[in-house]
Structure 1
Amino acid sequence: MARTKRTSPVKPPLRGRIARIALRTVIGFVALSLFFVILYRFVPVPVTLTMLFDGNGITKDWTSLSDIDPNMPRAAIAAEDSKFCQHHGFDADAISKAIRFNEKGGRIRGGSTISQQTAKNVFLWQGGGYVRKAFEAWFTLLIEALWGKERIMEVYLNVAETGIGTYGVEAGAIRYFNHGADRLTPAEAGRLAAILPLPKKRAAIAPKGFTRRYGNIIARRIGVVRREGLDSCLK
């Protein structure tokens, strides 16, 4: 009786296997990112990578936007993103100006919106790089579509670093002014907004030099934000 020759199953080409793995990875990433974005639409963000890698510990106290004095979101808009209520996550003019400014050398200026900063702070890591910027853009699109402006501002004001080991404007207000964020004066809100870019190097108590001048400028701009309705998407 003749033996039948057993043949091994034909393996798919390497290129095909790589393509399938890549597709599964992309689908998994999209599903996971959608899950967390939808979750954080309703649930306070418990911790971020920035907090986890902060060797100074974590002091924070989640506070709803309705319990934060309107001076604070107005100060954030005045300092960080005057078109917050008009754009859909990206400010092309600000990005273009930042690129031209940075080409001259010296102190680096960012062109990120509050939405972009929120996406970075919640889902990603600090620092630059095109890879992180690409992820940042993806998460910015998601939170703009699924959260809306009020939630974006609420999350931003709760996860932003406001001092050494201090996160959120509630913890920052208590740290610097000995009271909650529910009764911030324009001057206090301006000082908190002024230290946001460099919270480890700037202080809201008796600020000096640039921080003092910048805080005063922001405090004056708060009135402009209110009068011109630049915070209309938060009402």
Structure 2
Amino acid sequence: MAAPQVEGEKRQVRRRRKKNAQRRPLRRVLRYGLLTVLALLALPVLLSLLYRISWVHPVSTLMVKDLVTLQGYTRQWTSIDDVAPVAVHSVIMSEDGRFCSHSGVDWEALNTVIEDALQGEKARGASTISMQTVKNLYLWQGRSFVRKAMEVPLALYFDAVVSKKRLMEIYLNIAEWGPDLYGIEAAAQHHFGRSAANLTARQAALLAVTLPNPAERNPARPGPGLSRLAGLIERRAAKAGGYVGCVR
């Protein structure tokens, strides 16, 4: 009787070992997957600290895509001090009038958008320049609640560790102003044949209102609607005052 019992116990041990052996690859995959996710989460945190350094010139995910697909892109990095102040002011007044007063997220605007969406109204944007910057640096394009949920903490962190002036400088140099065309210097040269330092108030306003849809808007050949919008931004930029104090 002892021999069959011992043999049965051996079979049970072999089955347990076989089952554990089958589980090990799954555990290994899960472990590597978790480590990959943690690394991806840590990357923006570390890069944001690196991007505080003035001689570091960040690239956007769209620029990386253009390189990977062998399309290439045009971008000439320029210091914010070498950009016409009216151009900086125009972008702020067009894209994010509260840029200097919020901490990365305009909660009032975001809450209004959420309330409108819950009431079934058409969705509209509430992205700050900080949110657009982290989206361009770390995330993907297109509308997505998942992406928006990731934007918020990233924008708050980025705004906390990077100065407003440096943040604006990065945004101006990674924003898309046309197919494979990035940064305000390349945009000024391409559309108006002059450097960003020499943009007129009208040209600066036209470039600013192009940002929401650079694929379809051409600042060098604006239609009536784009011209009217540029006129509005030009007037706002002229009276920006304290709204732009953080980038001076």
Residue 191 of structure 1: how far off its partner (Å): 0.2
Q: Supply the RMSD in Å over aligned alpha carbons.
A: 3.0
1:93 aligned residue (90, 99, 108): 108
Percent identity between matched residues is: 39
Which is greater in Rg? 2
User: Partner of 1:28 in structure 2?
Assistant: 39
**What are the ranges of 5 or more consecutive residues in structure 1 without an aligned counterpart?**
none
Give 5+ residue unaligned stretches, structure 2. 1-5
Amino acid at match of 1:152: L
| One-letter amino acid matched to 1:44 | H
Counterpart of 1:208 in structure 2 is 223
Q: 1:202 to 1:101 in 2, by over 3 A?
A: farther
- For residue 176 of structure 1, report the CA deviation from its aligned partner: 1.2
What's 1:49 paired with? 61
Matches within 5 A, 1:121-160: 121-160=136-175
Aligned residues: 228
Distance 2:202 2:116 in 1: 28
Counterpart residue number, 1:37: 48
Aligned-partner Cα distance in 2 for 1:224–1:99: 30
Q: What's the TM-score once normalised by structure 2's chain length?
A: 0.80
Query: Partners in 2 of 1:190 and 1:71 — Cα distance?
Result: 8
Structure 1 residue 23, shift from structure 2 partner = 6.1
For 1:51 and 1:19, locate their aligned partners in 2 and report how far apart those are by CA, in whole Å. 31
CA 1:125–1:30 in 2, change beyond 3 Å: closer, same or farther? closer
Aligned to 2:3: none
Per the alignment, residue 173 of structure 1 pairs with 188
Evaluate the alpha carbon distance shift between residue 53 and residue 214 of structure 1 in structure 2; reply closer, same or farther with a 3 A threshold. Answer: same
Tell me the CA shift for residue 231 of structure 1.
Answer: 0.8
Instruction: Give the distance between the partners of 1:98 and 1:72, measured in 2 at CA.
Output: 28
Are 1:104 and 2:134 matched, yes or no? no
Report what 2:200 is aligned to. 185
Higher helix share: 2
